[in-house]
Structure formats: C-alpha cells, structure tokens
Structure 1
Amino acid sequence: MIVVRLALQSLRNRWITVLLTILAISVSVMLLLGVEKVRSGARDSFAGTVSGADLVVGARSGAMQLLLYSVFRIGNATNNVTWRSYEDIVSRPGVAWSIPLSLGDSHRGFRVIGTTLDYFEHFRYRDGQALKFAAGAPFDDLFDAVLGSDVASQLGYATGDKIVIAHGVGSLGPQHDDLPFRVSGILARTGTPVDKSLHVSLKAIEAIHVDWRSGSRIPGQHTPADRLRQMSLPPKAITAAVIGLKSRLQVIGFQRSINEYRAEPLSAVLPGVALQEMWTLVGTAETALLGVSAMVVVTSMLGLSAMILSTLNERRREIAILRSLGARPLAVASLLVGEATLLTVTGIAIGTAALYAVLFIARPFVDKQFGIDIGVQPPSANDALLLSAILIGGVLAGFLPAYRAYRMSIASGMMVRT
C-alpha cells in the first residue's frame, strides 16, 4: 500500500506527462481491440448473410464464386441451371425447402432477383431471423416488386411507385420501359445483401424477356402486359438455388449427388465451408492489420518506458531521500514498476471504456452503411488475452527504469550537478 501511495503521489506531481502517456496507451488499446471487434463482427455478419441453408446449387464453378454471386450478389454466373434440373433436384425426398434465384437484370445499380414466394417464407439471416416487411406485402401481381430497405431509402421509393428494370447489370443497359413494375412491398432492414436487392417473381423475369432475343428487343414486337398476365410463362432456367434439407446428416451425400449430376454440370457448396475458404484468403490482410495495431501498442509501451526514464534525473533527490530513510533498492525499483503498472491499468480501463462507448454510438451507422453488425458484448476470452498481453507489456516497460533506479546510490542522488 505504501508503494501504491508513493506512486500515486509521484504521478500527481507529473500529471501532464502522465495524462499524455495514459492517452497514448488508451488509444493503442482502442485500436487493437477495435480491429479485433470489427474483424469478428465482419466475419459474423458475412456468416449471417444466409442462415439455416444447407446447400447453394448453381452451374459448375468454384465454391467461392458460386457463393459470391448467389448470396452476396457479387460477380456473375458462368452459366444457368435449367428449370428441369432444378425441379428434379428439389423433388427429391430429402429436400425440406428450396429458393430459386434468377439474376441478370438491374435497376439503377441494384440487382434484380427473380424468385418465388418461398423466398419470403424460408430465407433466414443472422441466427435464423425471418424477413419482415416494413411496408406493403410480397408480390401478388405479375408486375409487382419487393424492394430491399437500401433500395427504397436511397432511391426514395414507397409502396405504389412505378419502377423500370434495366436489361443486364450495367446502369446504362437497355430498359424494359414498356413493362413498368409497381412497388408492392419494402423489406425491413437486415444488414445483408437483401437490402440492396429488388425482388420480382420468376414469371415476371420471363415476361419482360418475351420480346427479347440475345439481349436485344425484337424490332416491332410488343406483347401487352394484360396478355402477359394470361400466359403461363414457365421459367426456362435459374441462376442458383438455396436448399434446406430435412436432415443435415444427408448434406454430404446430397452434395456429392449434385456434383455428379449427369444431366448438366452443377456444383453444390456448403455456405459455411465456402465462407471459411474466403476468410483463409483474406486472413493475410487481417493478420497485417492486427500486426499494425500491435506495433502501435508496442510504441505506446516504449513511450511509457521513455517517460519514466526521462524523469529519473529529476527524481534523483527523491530516490536518494527514500534510500536514506531506509528504503531498499528493491523497494525503489518496485515503486517505478508500480507506476508503470498503474499507468497501464488506467490506460487499459479508459481505452476499453472509450471503445465500448464508440461502438455503442457507431454501431447503427456501421450496420446501415456497411452491413456489419459489431456486437457490443462483454470482452471475450480473446479480448482478455490481448488486454493481459498489454498489461504484461506495461509491467515490462517499467523494468528498465527500475533497474536504473536500483543502481543509483544515495551519494549520486545527493550530489548537486552543475
């Protein structure tokens, strides 16, 4: 207790330097823990983009490519899956539900997805949450569209508004302006690519392409909307499908049967496995970012040691007086180590509290802008390990000045230097 009291009194006499040192340690703690929180939040958000799905099926391609274009709406498919093959696959006894997806068109930079009402019933995200409507309802008419929350907010749409879909994913592609869609519903925010998508029926995708061939409108041909509503318009092909099985014990066998499908070359991937492959690729960047954060912490620890060392000359008389009053060299060294430890603990406490305050304030903004849900949970075991490492570093930072003080004699402290 005497050592702590002396350390507090000594630090109080140098409060400006002490505050700057604590600030440096706090910022380094915020950076290191913040990077870890964002990293884990990004992983959890990506993993939660689709929840409860056992397989994603598409044309033969790499696992990551299939996952990126079907779930994250990034990139394009190498080929389509025929509707006959899709019906054959989902009619198997082990399939509990399926969601067909047809991509290829867009609206002002946002992807248009052709699907069925099963999408709104079975699609799950972030630990099994179901899609909810902020306004309106699922598509009912042939030319109804359901918008993601970002599409509606950024483009200023409301239910009942008319929109025109463009052919292809380019913003300057030809327009299906002869067949406008009505906004029937707007989905509540999910923090996933669903927010940046427009959803129409598979029949609607076929309807707007009745008068098109090879990516161009057939000159002089126009089928009225009322007539299209009376046509059957069965889908010819889809881009991918999300499938849920009755038993997860069947996943590996079901995946193998699709990968060996003889009617056409198909691929079936497990979303979790494909995501793990993706994180393996970006793991180098994560490690580099953590390394930079760790170097900032090391720099703050060196600053702590330099600060205590720089004050030793000013404290020569103080140390000599303590020695003359009976304090042993080890007690003086313990005093300096105690100061370093106290500064480190204070910096850790302030940095951790400041980080959680920033996360609490910035969480809605980050979720809205980037779709990353940074959980504000108590420090995890990994966080505790990082904080322990910082604390040990702070204690070690006090050893060099403690050793210097340990070697000081009473005579050198009492000597007046000119």
Structure 2
Amino acid sequence: MTDLRLVLKSLSARSTSTVVTCLLIAIAVALLISMRSLREAGRRSFTRGVGNAHLVVSGDSSPLVAVLNGIFYANPPRAPLPESKVTEIASSMPWAWTIPTQLGDSFRGFPVLGTTPAFLDDFEPAIGEPWRIRRPGRNIEGPFDVVLGSRVAAATGLGVGDRLFLTHGMGVDAAGGEVGIVDDPSATVEAEGDPHDGHDHDD
C-alpha cells in the first residue's frame, strides 16, 4: 500500500474531523486575505488625502489628531497656532512651501478651510495630481474669495460668481449660528475621491 493510499484511507476514516479542519483552514485564509485587503484600502485612502504634504505642524495633542484635523478636517484644532508662530516656522527653514490652514466656519454643513493661494498652487491632494480648476474659475486672490470642491458645488448648486453666507461653527447644527460675511466663489476645483473635495460633517 502506497503512502498516498494510506493518507487517503486515514482521512476517510476521520471524514468529519477532516472536513472541519479544511473548513477552518479556508476560513482562516479568507480572513487573512480580507484583513490584508482592508489594510491596503485604508492605507491608500489615508495616503490619497495627504498628497505631497511631508510635514504637519499643529498644536494638537497627538500626531494622529494633528493629521486628522489638519488634513482630513475631522474637527477644528483645539490649540490653533497663532499667526506669529506660523510666520516664525515658515521662515525658520528653507521649506519648498508652507501652507497655513484653519477650520472653524461652515456652509450648509460643509467645513470651510481658511488658507492661502499656495494651497491650490503647491499642494497636490494626490501625488502627481494637482488641482483641476474648472474654467472660468480661478484661484483665490483676495480675503473674501472662495473656491468650492466639486462635491460641495454639486450639493449646493453654487457656481462661479454666486454669493454665499458662512456660518461660525462646524456642522449642520451650526446653521442657526451667527452669519458671517458675504463671499464670492472664484472657482470650483475637481479632486473627487479625497477629503479635500468636501464632506458633510453630519456624515
């Protein structure tokens, strides 16, 4: 009797335990593959929003909170850096570029990011994929210019030249808060699939 026949005979004598063992191995392999796929999908999503940013400077309590608030707009920072500190950091090293950002206002539940023209000129939401500004739109130039993400523009129906009122505070619950200044959208940018395109804080 060959070794193979001995193995097959042994397996057939223990058919129940053999089937259970095979099922457990199959489940373990499927779980391992699923975990690896989820980890890779999470890594890709996280990397896409970070783009070509290499350093986030923040007064937040931890590096994770700093990235979530500074890149993914989870919440306004609890300890924002004063403008004097931002200027000091920007001039302390020969950075390729520095971009100050600040959250705090919203429009119909969408977060409003205060920043400079360098955000659209230098920062890429995904490496090698710069912002695409819909014409006849343009980058921000003055303190009251607004650039909309394509998702926000689609959800609100706003376009180039429309005017809007900002609300102090984040999320749809802040809709009854103090109404800010009237702003004028300058452009709509297309960066679909990343956090910079606009997300509702009620999501």
TM, length-normalised to structure 1: 0.37
Deviation of 1:116 after TM superposition, in Å, equals 0.4
Deviation of 1:41 after TM superposition, in Å, equals 2.7
- Matched residue of 1:42: which SS? helix
What residue number does 1:163 align with?
A: 164
Which one-letter code corresponds to 2:113 in the other structure? I
What residue number does 1:189 align with?
A: 191
Correspondence 1:93-172 to 2 at 5 A: 93-135=93-135, 136-172=137-173
What residue number does 1:282 align with?
A: none
What residue number does 1:76 align with?
A: 76
Task: Please tell me the root mean square deviation across aligned C-alpha atoms, in Å.
Answer: 2.5
Q: Deviations over 1:282-312 (max 9, x none)?
A: xxxxxxxxxxxxxxxxxxxxxxxxxxxxxxx
Which one-letter code corresponds to 2:183 in the other structure? F
Pair 128,110 (structure 1): closer, same or farther in 2 beyond 3 Å: same
Which one-letter code corresponds to 1:145 in the other structure? V
Max Rg structure: 1
Correspondence 1:10-21 to 2 at 5 A: none
Q: Is the Cα–Cα contact under 8 Å of residues 105 and 166 in structure 2 kept in the other structure?
A: yes
Distance 1:31 1:67 in 2: 29
- Matched residue of 1:98: which SS? coil
Pair 32,54 (structure 1): closer, same or farther in 2 beyond 3 Å: closer
Pair 78,142 (structure 1): closer, same or farther in 2 beyond 3 Å: closer
Q: Is the Cα–Cα contact under 8 Å of residues 50 and 123 in structure 1 kept in the other structure?
A: no
Distance 1:155 1:33 in 2: 40
Correspondence 1:11-410 to 2 at 5 A: 36-37=36-37, 39-135=39-135, 136-173=137-174, 174-176=177-179, 179-196=181-198
What residue number does 1:359 align with?
A: none
What residue number does 1:358 align with?
A: none
Which one-letter code corresponds to 1:52 in the other structure? N
Pair 159,34 (structure 1): closer, same or farther in 2 beyond 3 Å: farther
Distance 1:30 1:165 in 2: 49
Which one-letter code corresponds to 1:55 in the other structure? L
Unpaired segments ≥5 residues, structure 1: 1-28, 198-369, 371-418
- Higher RCO, Cα 8 Å, sep 6+: 1
Deviation of 1:38 after TM superposition, in Å, equals 5.1
